[in-house]
Structure 1
Amino acid sequence: MKAFLIFILLTTILECGCTNSTDICPNVKTSLGSIRKRRHLTFPDGSTVVLTISLVKAFLTHAPAGWNLAIEIDVIYPLPDAKFTNAHFRRKLHHRQKREFWERLQNAIDSHSLNGRACVIRIICEAKSHLAPPGKSLVHDLLRAIFTAPIHEEEFFDEVRDSYRELLEPNFCNQINDCPFSILDFILSMNKQKY
């Protein structure tokens, strides 16, 4: 009886091992371990990401007291929920999300009496040359993912045709820009500070 149970156990183990290996079982084309269905990341309804840029300047009126001036810009970006993911299952969402993020950043800069469109275009142009090669810095990789313009892709071309037509011109970075300062240099200089 013990020998029979050991035989059944060994047969079961070999059968399970055979289903996941293509070398032992030639009739299996791909191993079951390598098959993976496409998955999408979804968040609970109402989830958002907030990008906050803060600038604080201290003014000493008399020692040790003083005044602090704080300026903040909040850009609220909604995250995709299950309805959004199901509605756009096969489309390239990152082009639309990138354009929407640029527009929100443009509106936030516009609210401070600056040319937000010119500043966004300046960031896109500077991202081509000022960022480290991929894999060297997480901050640089994140900025590259947000501020690159893949104009050679047809889906991106269709997405930005109405809102950022300047990006479709071949030498858009060589044109004069109306943004008074470099937001990308500001972000990268914060990355170098030691606390």
Structure 2
Amino acid sequence: MKLIILLFVCASVLGSECPNVRTRIGSIRKRRHLTFPDGSTLVLTVSTAKTFLTHIPSGWNLVMELDLIFNLPGPNFTVAHARRKLHHRQKRQIWEQLQKSIDYYNLNGRACVLRSICEAKSYLAPPGRSLVHDILRSIFTAPTHEGDFREEIKDVYEDILDPSYCKQMNDCPFSLLSFILFINKQRN
């Protein structure tokens, strides 16, 4: 506490340099990482409910739920992995989990994920306009110009690397981004 007060007094009086302190004031704040207890997970649940209007019996509802489970980084996880490669790996894992959950409903999950990646280029608002759009952009943007990203997805989502892929026909019957953005409009 005394060091922080000394640095504050020294910085306000002398500017950015303190003669009796070894470390520069600008280097005190280090990069911080958010860590969670080992085994922590985040569950993203999407639920939709549709009411059937019938006379007898009344009150029939169809409910569909989709749960995505993400493992959160523990104390040793953040230190052990390089930051840039970690983002690429997490993005690929999210895509694979979405693919598996869509495949569960007998749809082509891989095609739907690839369609969402293509649609993210044109459907989303500019950065900073909407938090939901920024989150979707961070999930569905493919930085194909980075070598680490190319290496991470080379076996699974290699189709993205072709510049003309988004112009080709896709086997996905619905737009995942349109569905999410429609839900977002309904809540506002």
Instruction: Give 1:145's aligned residue.
Output: 138
CA deviations over 1:159-188 (Å, ceiling 9, x no partner): 111110001111111111000010100110
* Amino-acid identity (%): 62
Distance 1:87 1:194, change over 3 A: closer
TM-score calculated relative to the size of structure 1: 0.83
Aligned with 2:118 (options 125, 150, 153): 125
The answer to whether residue 83 in structure 2 is matched with residue 84 in structure 1 is no
Is 2:37 aligned against 1:17?
no
Aligned counterpart in structure 2 of residue 115 of structure 1, from 96, 108, 115 = 108
Aligned equivalent of 2:47: 54
What is the CA-CA distance between 1:82 and the residue it aligns to?
1.3
Check whether the contact 2:10–2:18 (CA below 8 A) recurs between aligned residues.
no
Residue equivalent to 1:93: 86
CA distance in 1, matches of 2:162, 2:94: 21
SS at match of 1:55: strand
2 CA distance for matches of 1:179 and 1:83?
Answer: 39
* 1:160 paired residue number: 153
Corresponding residue for residue 5 of structure 1: none
8 Å Cα contact 1:22-1:31 kept in structure 2: no
Letter in 2 for 1:105: L
Question: Does the CA-based 8 Å contact 1:58-1:66 persist in structure 2?
Answer: yes
Matched positions, count: 183
The Cα of 1:136 is off from its aligned counterpart by: 0.4
Q: Does 1:40 align with 2:33?
A: yes
Answer yes or no: is the 8 Å Cα contact 1:151–1:168 preserved in 2: yes
Equivalent-residue separation in structure 2 for 1:50 and 1:105 (angstroms): 13
Name the CA distance, whole Å, in 1 between partners of 2:66 and 2:77. 27
- Deviation of 1:86 (Å): 2.4
Q: Report the 3-state secondary structure (helix = DSSP H, G, I; strand = E; otherwise coil) of the residue aligned with 1:57.
A: strand
- SS state at 1:56 partner: strand
8 Å CA contact retained: 2:37, 2:74 = yes
Counterpart of 2:9, as a letter, is G
Aligned partner letter, 1:104: Q
Match of 2:49, SS state, is strand
Q: Quick check: which has more Rg, 1 or 2?
A: 1
The AA in structure 1 aligned to 2:55 is H
User: TM (normalized to structure 2)?
Assistant: 0.86
Separation in 2 of the partners of 1:15 and 1:153?
A: 40
| Counterpart residue number, 2:63 | 70
- Partner Cα distance (1:42, 1:14) in 2: 30
Q: Is the 8 A contact 2:7 2:25 kept in 1?
A: no
Tell me the C-alpha RMSD between the 2 structures: 2.6
